[in-house]
Amino acid sequence: MEGIDALRLPSPCVVLLVGPGASGKTTWAQAHFAPDAIVSSDRLRALVGFGEDDIEASTAAFDLLETVVAQRLSRRITTVIDTLGLDADRRLRWLALAREHDLPCVAVAFDTPARECRERNRGRAKRIPADVLTVQLRSWAQTRDALAGEGYHDVITPQPVRVVPQAFVGAPQASQHQPERQTGPRFGLQVATFDFPGKAAETAGRLREIAGAAEEAGFEAIYVMDHFRQIPQVGRAWDDMLESYTTLGYLAACTQRLRIGTLVTGITYRNIAHLGKIIATLDVLSSGRAICGLGIGWFEQEHRAYGWDFPAVRQRYALLEDALELLPLLWGPGSPAYQGRVISVPEAVGYPRPLQEHVPIMIGGSGERRTLRLAAQYADMSNVFGDAANVRHKAAVLRAHCADLGRDPDQVVVTHLGTALVGEDDRHLSELVERLRPRRQNPAQYAASINSGTVSDQVGRLSGLAEAGAAELIVRLPNLADAGAVARMGKVIAAFR
């Protein structure tokens, strides 16, 4: 069930159906959940007996149900338990099991009028015996009053529901408030993979298409990672990985207005004065659209593979601070000498100068004591990760550093990098997740890891990040090989305009 009005349940979770026979439990479950998510005592009775109405198979069916539920919950898989739910001991046992595995447990109370249950039962090909249904209806009256005090995550009535990654549970509220707040964040696209159909022979054409689609979709910037082999968080070491600044030069020629930069340049990979020349050149050839992203570097295996030194953290921070001081000198007037902590440049000079009077500098990283302080002192943008609560906290730390350094906090904006898989609806999302997920990874876990959601889901989540303080929302789309991926993200961006 899609739609902003559907109740969001956190993935994964346990959904316990409670109500008398013929109250609509199975019909409701089948309308809102995939068949594999539903564990039904009736279906298991058919599995261990001659059919769903084989009452003598009930004991065996419930023994099997307990095993199935225990196995699914131990693996943290969303499970809908479709039984009468009128046995308090069973309900509390399932609730305890859900808590043991840190799963929210939601009870759905089917308070269907007794007359309606009886009418439905009379219309069935195989009816519940009238006296048995009467006992269930009496038991339901007591059960209904007990549910609220049993300690569920929530007790709800039958209504449209969707099970979504935790990041989207609050999305409807944030989405509804977004037009009132008029947060107006900028949007950036990070291209982190180059494993397109056709491989290297089609890479240039595909990148050109992505860049054009990004401009049309409303993105204001495009970024690439500064790595020489694919990082383990994204892919395999042998996946195609383009050199960053060569790629940015190509993207500059393919676009008209997108700002371009790395997210972010590792300061250990290049001579800093040479880096200043590279970025100045990029700014000139892009007509003043370059962004200078900087970070201390972290991928030791990559350094070792290419024969580069990988200094200790303290030395890399010293090199980063030197770069933050030296680069503006290289782009500015005159030819001053620079003597830093680890860098010595007799003449900080380069021609042509960047076209921008001030090339914006972004620092990547969330370290509160050093990284955010360096951002407060030298940078124009500070890139962070995580949910809205983390963004809000990092923004507060950044503002505190600015105040301590006597700098206007508005001069340093927070940017946020995250992944987003955008689907047209829940069915489309399921298809995308199934197509993209690693073979052995739980679909729900994968969906959560890439923030898989519909357009309205994404609007709500990103609106929450903007409200928390992110002035630019940079997304990595895990399905860039899909020609429609950027356009679907464009629908999200349009909601903020």
Nearest to 234 by CA among 480, 478, 496, 64: 478
Q: Which residues lie across from 414 on neighbouring strands?
A: 382, 470
Quickly state the pLDDT bin for 5 (edges 50, 70, 90). Answer: confident
Cα-Cα-Cα-Cα torsion 213, 215, 217, 222, nearest 10 degrees, comes to 90
**What pLDDT sits at residue 2?**
52
- Average pLDDT, integer, range 244-263: 97
pLDDT in tens, 418-427: 999 999 999 9
DSSP helix, strand, coil percent of the chain (3-state; round to 5): 45, 15, 35
- The sign of the CA dihedral 471, 190, 351, 256 is negative
pLDDT of residue 176 exceeding 70, the answer is no
Query: How far apart (Å, rounded) are the C-alpha atoms in residues 231 and 402?
Result: 33
Chain CA centroid to CA 170, Å: 14
Helix (H, G, I), strand (E, B) or coil at 7: strand
Query: How far apart (Å, rounded) are the C-alpha atoms in residues 159 and 7?
Result: 8
**What pLDDT sits at residue 174?**
56
CA separation, residue 174 to residues 4, 23, 169, 170, 388 (Å): 11, 34, 10, 7, 11
How is 280-326 classified by DSSP, letter by letter?
Answer: HHHHHHTTS-EEEEEE----HHHHHHHT-----HHHHHHHHHHHHHH
pLDDT of residue 173 exceeding 60, the answer is no
Lowest mean pLDDT among 31-45, 162-176, 342-356, 459-473: 162-176
Residue 469 falls in which region: left (phi positive, over 0), alpha (psi -120 to 50) or beta: left
pLDDT of residue 183 exceeding 60, the answer is no
115 C-beta neighbours (distance < 10 Å), count? 8
Residue 374 falls in which region: left (phi positive, over 0), alpha (psi -120 to 50) or beta: alpha
Name every residue whose Cβ is closer than 8 Å to that of residue 304 and which is 6 or more positions away in sequence: 310
Lowest mean pLDDT among 67-71, 162-166, 180-184: 180-184
Nearest to 467 by CA among 176, 169, 162: 176
What is the CATH code of the structural domain delimited by 7-166?
3.40.50.300
Query: How far apart (Å, rounded) are the C-alpha atoms in residues 414 and 391?
Result: 8
With a pLDDT cut of 70, the percent of the chain lying above it is 97
pLDDT of residue 470 exceeding 80, the answer is yes
224 C-beta neighbours (distance < 10 Å), count? 25
- The sign of the CA dihedral 161, 163, 164, 166 is positive
pLDDT in tens, 124-172: 888 999 999 999 999 999 999 999 999 999 999 999 999 999 999 986 5
Domain layout of the chain by residue ranges: 7-166, 171-494
Query: How far apart (Å, rounded) are the C-alpha atoms in residues 226 and 224?
Result: 6
How open is the CA angle 394-396-398, to the nearest 5 degrees?
70
pLDDT in tens, 79-93: 999 999 999 999 999
Buried b (16+ CB within 10 A) or exposed e, 61-91: bbebbeeebbebbeebbbbbbbbbbbeeebb
Nearest to 33 by CA among 71, 67, 79: 79
DSSP state of 5: T
**What pLDDT sits at residue 180?**
53
CA separation, residue 495 to residues 394, 457, 466, 468 (Å): 26, 12, 13, 18
Nearest to 487 by CA among 423, 431, 418: 423
pLDDT in tens, 292-341: 999 999 999 999 999 999 999 999 999 999 999 999 999 999 999 999 99
Query: How far apart (Å, rounded) are the C-alpha atoms in residues 42 and 64?
Result: 12
Q: Which residues lie across from 266 on neighbouring strands?
A: 295
- Average pLDDT, integer, range 459-477: 96
- Average pLDDT, integer, range 412-419: 97
Nearest to 375 by CA among 399, 356, 357, 353: 399
Q: What is the pTM of this model?
A: 0.89
**What pLDDT sits at residue 184?**
82
Domain at 171-494, CATH homologous superfamily: Luciferase-like domain (3.20.20.30)
- Average pLDDT, integer, range 387-408: 97
Quickly state the pLDDT bin for 4 (edges 50, 70, 90). Answer: low
Helix (H, G, I), strand (E, B) or coil at 83: coil
- Average pLDDT, integer, range 406-429: 95
**What pLDDT sits at residue 1?**
45
With a pLDDT cut of 90, the percent of the chain lying above it is 89
- Average pLDDT, integer, range 172-194: 73
- Which tokens sit at 203? 């890479």
**What pLDDT sits at residue 175?**
55
Tell me the chain's radius of gyration from C-alpha atoms: 28
